[in-house]
């Protein structure tokens, strides 16, 4: 019967990287040997490779063996050629004449105080290579048949443990890949078990919870909303018995930031939450723009500011530069991104940011530039429309003093209006069309009479 200490040490290999040395120590003591070694190589998975030794064949002796004598050691190839589950002693694998003629034994193995090795293969399938061995010195007699049988049985358990270790590493690798993929997402992802306890949160979700401005965790690990009404809706969605298969919730934040949008989805074992946290501050996306497009630092800051929804004049003020300097940086950004319009620049930059897991962007340019002014009787029209996403139809717009004008559209050439009764149309306010002006002008705008 095998020593329980050795059996426990063998199966500790599955999950514990530090278990190899205790196993080799136990093997050397069990067979009354001064040294033991274990080698396992998988060329396709270098992370699971193992080369451990104990006793006389370690330290400087191991380094010397690897650099000078490993290539002429006849034992590893002979041991690996054995069937799995079998063991052999080198005094039985090689004749006395072969041993006496071996430069490996005469120049290295015998001088360090070793006489014979007892080994067994633990892996051999064309790409994997592994063996375990103990090395006796001249102070003990050769290995007996019973010792060889015991070692073969131990080697069988080691082979099983190594196979389980490989599977464990494969599961860990797959888990790490999935975790890395989720951490690259800009949306927060939280997994909750059937008891309502959070089991996983990706990097974006952890950042959201650390802000503690809308969503938080209780001491028991339950997800909570700080707003009472929102928390009531959230808990109803998180209750497995009554929760719908999918629900979308708006969770207010204590700051002036937009609310968190949370999607709750049922899984077979628990719930999956996706959290949209809104745009990132442009200080966070500036380095990404700088590296992605090769922008200058000022051009990257300007593009990040424009993505946030500010116009060119506002961005110039935020950056502390003149409008002419801002225009220069804008042209630099056009050249770097191979665009010619501000709308295309913003679209290209936000696409790259989104694909890389950043949520750049805030108010749309339309909201930032024209929403409030278009609702007044005196209409404030931007004249840098050639560089903004204004080439769209504003459907069924009617201002207080311009009820007859039912449809507006803004193009590079200016503000275009259609009169509903006569179907006549014309430009109500001309833009420069070159997109070089930034800011706004206020003019009285009246529809053309038929």
pLDDT in tens, 275-298: 876 555 544 678 888 888 889 999
- How far is 407 from 374, CA to CA, in rounded Å? 13
3 state SS of 277 = coil
Contact by Cβ (8 Å): 275, 204: yes
We find that the CATH architecture of domain 282-355 is Orthogonal Bundle (1.10)
What pTM did the predictor assign?
0.47
State the burial class of residue 403 (Cβ atoms within 10 Å of its Cβ: 0-12, 13-18, 19+). Answer: exposed
CA 85/CA 79 separation, integer angstroms: 11
Pairwise pLDDT comparison (394 vs 314), residue with the higher score:
314
Looking at residue 127, its pLDDT comes to 67
Residue 94 has pLDDT above 50, yes or no: yes
Helical axes 203-211 vs 145-183, angle rounded to 10°: 60
Which pLDDT belongs to residue 450?
Answer: 40
298 burial (CB, 10 Å; 0-12 / 13-18 / 19+) is middle
Q: Note whether 383 and 440 are within 8 A (CB).
A: yes
Domain 188-276 has CATH 3.30.450.20: yes
Rg (C-alpha) for the chain, rounded Å, is 37
Rounded Cα distance, 85 and 92, in Å? 17
Q: Which residue has the tokens 């690897």?
A: 66
pLDDT confidence of 391, banded at 50, 70, 90?
A: very low
Three-class secondary structure of residue 299 per DSSP: helix
Q: CATH code for 4-172?
A: 3.30.450.80
pLDDT of residue 150: 93
Q: Is the pLDDT of residue 403 over 60?
A: no
Residue with tokens 């009472």: 228
- Quickly state the pLDDT bin for 90 (edges 50, 70, 90): very high
For 123-132, the pLDDT digits (tens) are: 876 667 789 9
- 300-326, pLDDT tens digit by residue? 999 988 887 888 999 999 899 999 999
Tell me what the pLDDT averaged over the chain comes to. Answer: 76
Query: d(Cα 195, Cα 79) in Å, to the nearest integer?
Result: 53
User: In angstroms, rounded to a whole number, what is the distance separating the alpha carbons of residues 123 and 90?
Assistant: 19
Give the SS3 label for residue 311: coil
Domain ranges of the chain: 4-172, 188-276, 282-355, 369-443
Domains 4-172 and 188-276 share a fold: yes
Q: Are strands 425-430 and 440-443 parallel, antiparallel or unpaired?
A: unpaired
Reply yes or no on whether the pLDDT at 377 is more than 70: no
Q: Are 131 and 156 in contact (CB under 8 A)?
A: no
Q: Which residues contact 367 (CB under 8 A, 6 or more apart)?
A: 309
Closest to 315 in 3D by CA, of 380, 369, 242 = 369
pLDDT tens across 200-259, in order? 888 888 888 888 888 988 888 889 999 999 999 888 888 856 555 778 888 888 766 778
Q: Pull the structure tokens for residue 364.
A: 């749309």
**Strand ranges in 83-157 using DSSP code E only, listed in sequence order:** 88-89, 116-124, 129-136
Give the least confident one: 253-257, 345-349, 389-393: 389-393
What is the reported pLDDT for 381? Answer: 34
């Amino acid at each position: 019967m095998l020593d329980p200490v050795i059996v426990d040490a063998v199966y500790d290999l599955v999950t514990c990287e530090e278990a190899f040395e205790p196993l080799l120590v136990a093997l050397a003591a069990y067979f009354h040997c001064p040294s033991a070694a274990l080698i396992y190589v998988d060329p396709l998975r270098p992370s699971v490779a193992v080369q451990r030794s104990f006793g006389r064949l370690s330290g400087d002796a191991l380094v010397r063996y690897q650099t000078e004598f490993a290539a002429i050691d006849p034992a590893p190839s002979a041991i690996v050629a054995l069937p799995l589950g079998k063991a052999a002693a080198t005094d039985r694998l090689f004749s006395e004449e072969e041993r006496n003629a071996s430069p490996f034994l005469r120049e290295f193995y015998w001088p360090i105080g070793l006489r014979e090795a007892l080994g067994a293969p633990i892996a051999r399938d064309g790409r994997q290579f592994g063996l375990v061995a103990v090395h006796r010195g001249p102070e003990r007699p050769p290995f007996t048949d019973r010792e060889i049988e015991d070692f073969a049985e131990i080697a069988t358990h080691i082979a099983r443990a190594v196979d389980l270790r490989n599977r464990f590493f494969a599961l860990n690798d797959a888990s790490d890949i999935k975790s890395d993929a989720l951490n690259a997402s800009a949306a927060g992802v939280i997994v909750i078990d059937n008891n309502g306890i959070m089991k996983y949160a990706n990097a974006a979700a952890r950042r959201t919870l650390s802000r503690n401005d809308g969503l938080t965790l209780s001491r028991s690990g339950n997800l909570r909303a700080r707003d009472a009404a929102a928390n009531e809706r959230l808990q109803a969605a998180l209750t497995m018995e009554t929760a719908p298969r999918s629900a979308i919730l708006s969770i207010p934040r204590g700051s002036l930031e937009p609310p968190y949008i949370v999607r709750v989805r049922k899984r077979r074992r628990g719930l999956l939450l996706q959290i949209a946290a809104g745009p990132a501050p442009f200080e966070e996306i500036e380095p990404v723009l700088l590296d992605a497009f090769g922008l200058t630092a000022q051009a990257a800051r300007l593009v990040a500011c424009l993505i946030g929804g500010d116009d060119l004049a506002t961005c110039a003020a935020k950056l502390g530069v003149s409008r002419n300097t801002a225009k220069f940086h804008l042209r630099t950004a056009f050249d770097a991104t191979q665009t010619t319009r501000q709308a295309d620049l913003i679209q290209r930059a936000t696409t790259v940011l989104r694909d890389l897991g950043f949520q750049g962007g805030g108010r749309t340019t339309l909201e930032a530039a024209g929403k409030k002014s278009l609702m007044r009787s005196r209409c404030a029209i931007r004249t840098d429309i050639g560089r903004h996403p204004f080439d769209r139809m504003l459907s069924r717009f009617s201002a207080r003093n311009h009820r007859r004008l039912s449809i507006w559209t803004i193009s590079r050439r200016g503000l275009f209006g259609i009169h509903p009764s006569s179907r006549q149309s014309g430009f109500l306010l001309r833009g420069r069309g070159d997109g070089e002006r930034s800011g706004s002008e206020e003019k009285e705008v009246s529809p053309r009479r038929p």
